[in-house]
Structure 1
Amino acid sequence: MLFLTRLICSCRTKWNLIRLLLLALILFTFMVQMLTNIRQLPGELAIHIHNSFLSGRFDDAKLVRKNYTFINSHQVLYTNHSPLLDTNSSGLRRYDYIINEPNKCKGNVPFLILLVIGERWQQEARQAIRQTWGKEDFVPGVRMLRLFFLGKGLGWNDKGQRSLLEESRMFHDIIQQDYLDTYHNLSLKVIMGFNWISAHCPNASYVMKTDSDMFVNTEYLIHRLLKPDEPPKLNYFTGYLMINGTPIRNLGSKWYVPYEEYPEERYPIFCSGTGYVFSANLVHDIVQVSPSIRWIHLEDAFVGLCLDKLGVLPVAPPKLTDFNPWRVFYSDCEYNQIVTSHEMRPSDLRYLWNRLQKQKHKCVRTD
C-alpha cells in the first residue's frame, strides 16, 4: 500500500512538472511573437514599445497615445505628422537614395514611364513584370521606361540588401529610398516616385502608376488610350474612377481611416491605386502641392486630394471596363481589350501574358 502511494505521488509530481514546462513554453512563444510583431512597427514607435517591454515599464505611453492609432498589435495606420512635410522649410521632405538611377532619361526621353510599387522581397514578381508587360522594347517605336520604387524595412538584413543591389546592377530599374516600406507609407512612396520623375525625367509624356500584382496590357494602353501619333494630352488623369467614396471607419478594415486623419464625409473623385495613367506634366504640380495636403495613408485617395487642390478632375477611360481593380476572368479577347487586371501571382502573369501574345491576333477589337 505504501509503495502504491509513493508511486501515485511520483506520477503526480512528474505530471505537474510537465504542465509547468508546457506553460513555460507557451509563455515563451507568446513573448517571442509579441517582440516579432513590435519589430514590424515604424521605427520610433517600435523602439519605444520594445524598450518598455524589456524594462517592464508600460506607464510611459504618451508617445503611443499622442501620435498613433492602432488597428491591431502590428499595424499602425495613423500618425499626426505628415512624412512628406519638411517642418523646417514647410516644403517637401527629402529622403536619401539607397539605390538610384539618375541618368535613366538622359538622351532618350520616354513616352511612358511605368512606375511600379512593390516590396523589396518581391523579386519574382519584378522578374515576371520584366518578362511580360514591363518589357521596355515591347511596343515597336515607343520608348517605355520601367522603374520599381522601394523603401527600406525593419528586419531587412545585409544579405537581403546585397541581393537587391545585385538585382539593381543587373537590370538598372530599381529606385530605393531611406523611408520605411510599410502600408502606412504608401502615399509617401508614390509621391517619392513622382518626385524622382519630376527631378530626373520631367519631359516624359505619360506616367502609369501600378502595383506589382497587376496585369497591364501596355500595347492596348499605348495605342488605344495614349496614341503616340497624337500630341500628348495635358492635365489628363484616368483610371478606374472612385466616385462619392467615403472613408471607412471600421477598425477591422485594411482601409480604415480615423476621423483625425480625414474628418470629411467624402473623398474627391480619385482613381483606384491598382492602376492609373496621367500626363507627365502633372507630376511636378502634384509633388509641389503634396506637403500642404492633409496627410492620408491611402495613396490613391491622397493623390485625388492633390488633384482636387490643383483643380484637375480625373476622367473616365474610353471604356468603363478598361481599368479593373479586381481580377478579370480570362479570355483571349477580353484581355486583349483591357488595360489592367488585379491579383496576379508571377506564375499567373507569365502564363496569361504568353497565352495572350499567341492568341490576340484572333480577336477583333470592338472599340
Structure 2
Amino acid sequence: TYVNLTYKLIASHRWASAFCQDKSDVFLFIDDDYEFNAKNVLNYLKSLTKFERRHLLSGSLMTWRRVVRPFKDASRNNWAVTRYEVPWSRFPPYAWGTATFVGADVLRELVVAEAYTRFLWVDDAFMGFVAAKLPHLHFQSMKGFYLESTNNQKALIAHSPLRFSLGW
C-alpha cells in the first residue's frame, strides 16, 4: 500500500546512512517501477564536484502543490489527505515520485530530521516536510530528470521498462 512507502523510504535512508556513508558521496533513491540510465547518471554525477555531490538533494521538483482533501466519492481519494494529517492547504517543495539524489552529508541530516517529523503516508510530501525542518537544505529541480520520450537520450530515469530498454 501507499502507506508502506514512507516506511520503506525511512528504512532505506537509515540503512544507507548507517552502512554506506563512507562508500559513496551520493545516493539515488528510486521507485521500484522506475529504471535508470547508468551512463547518464554517472555522467551527471561526474559533472559535480565532491562537495556538490555530498550536499545534493535533487529530483523532479513539485513546488507548493495544493493538498488534495477527501471527496464524497471515495473512489477519487487515492491521494486525499485529511486536515488532521496536513492542516495546511499546500505541501512544502518536494521531489515527486520517480527518484531523488541525496548527498551523503544531506542523508545524515535527513535521517535525524525524519525521526522528529510527523508520519505522513504520502512519502514524497513527507520528504518535503523533513527537508523543511532543515532550512539550509533546498531541493534542486533537474530538467530532463526522467524520460519524457524515447528520443530523450539525456534522461536519467525512465518509468516504462520497455520504453527504457528500447530507447537506450
Q: What TM-score do you get using the length of structure 1 for normalisation?
A: 0.41
Q: Given that residues 131 and 138 in structure 2 are in contact (C-alpha distance below 8 angstroms), is that contact kept between their aligned partners in structure 1?
A: yes
Q: For residues 227 and 287 of structure 1, do their structure 2 counterparts lie closer, same or farther at Cα, with a shift above 3 Å needed? A: same
* SS state at 2:33 partner: coil
Count, aligned residues? 161
User: Which of 305, 319, 322 is equivalent to 2:129?
Assistant: 305
Q: Does 1:205 align with 2:30?
A: no
- How far the C-alpha of 1:229 sits from its partner, in A, is 7.6
1:314 and 1:283 map into 2 onto residues whose CA distance is 13
- Distance of aligned partners of 1:229 and 1:243 in 2 relative to their CA distance in 1, 3 Å threshold: closer
Q: State the match for 1:244 in structure 2.
A: 64
- What letter matches 1:215 in structure 2? E
The runs of at least 4 consecutive aligned structure 1 residues that moved more than 3 Å come to none
Deviation at 1:328, TM superposition (A): 2.8
TM-score by length of 2: 0.86
C-alpha distance in 1 between matches for 2:86 and 2:55: 26
Aligned residue among 97, 113, 120 for 1:296: 120
Counterpart amino acid of 1:281? D
Q: Which residue of 1 aligns with 2:139?
A: 314
User: Partner residue of 1:230?
Assistant: 49
1:339 aligns with 2:150: no
Aligned partners of 1:310 and 1:235: how far apart in 2? 13
- Native 8 Å contact 1:209 1:273 kept in 2: no
Q: CA separation of 1:232/1:226 partners in 2, compared to 1, >3 Å: closer, same or farther?
A: farther
Write the letter of the residue equivalent to 2:117: I
The match for 1:278 is 102
How far is the alpha carbon of 1:304 from its aligned partner?
1.3
Q: Is the 8 A contact 1:262 1:294 kept in 2?
A: no
The Cα of 1:330 is off from its aligned counterpart by: 1.3
Aligned-pair Cα RMSD in Å: 2.0
Go from structure 1 to structure 2 and tell me whether the alpha carbon gap of 1:339 and 1:309 turns closer, same or farther (over 3 Å shift).
same
Out of 62, 74, 78, which is 1:254 matched to? 78
Question: Which amino acid in the other structure matches residue 270 of structure 1?
Answer: Y
| Counterpart Cα distance in 2 of 1:208 and 1:232 | 16
Give 1:269 shift: 0.9
Counterpart CA distance in 1 for 2:58 and 2:167 is 27
Aligned-pair CA distance for 1:183: 1.7
The Cα of 1:267 is off from its aligned counterpart by: 1.3
Q: Does 1:353 align with 2:165?
A: yes
- Aligned mate of 2:34, from 214, 217, 222: 214
Distance 2:116 2:97 in 1: 21
Aligned mates of 1:329, 1:354 — CA distance in 2: 11
Higher RCO, 1 or 2 (CA under 8 Å, sep at least 6)? 2
Q: Decide whether the 8 Å contact of 2:21 with 2:104 is kept in 1.
A: yes
Conservation of the 8 A alpha-carbon contact between 2:25 and 2:50: no
- 2:145 aligned to which of 315, 319, 323: 323
Structure 1 residue aligned with 2:89, among 243, 265, 269?
A: 265
- Cα distance change on mapping 1:253 and 1:218 into 2, 3 Å: farther
SS at match of 2:28: strand
Shift of 1:268: 1.2
Structure 1 gap segments, 5+ residues each? 1-181, 357-367
Once the two structures are TM-superposed, the CA of residue 243 in structure 1 deviates from its matched residue by 0.7
Which string of whole-angstrom CA distances, capped at 9 and with x for unpartnered residues, describes residues 210-251 of structure 1? Answer: 11221312211221x211783242322111110121111134
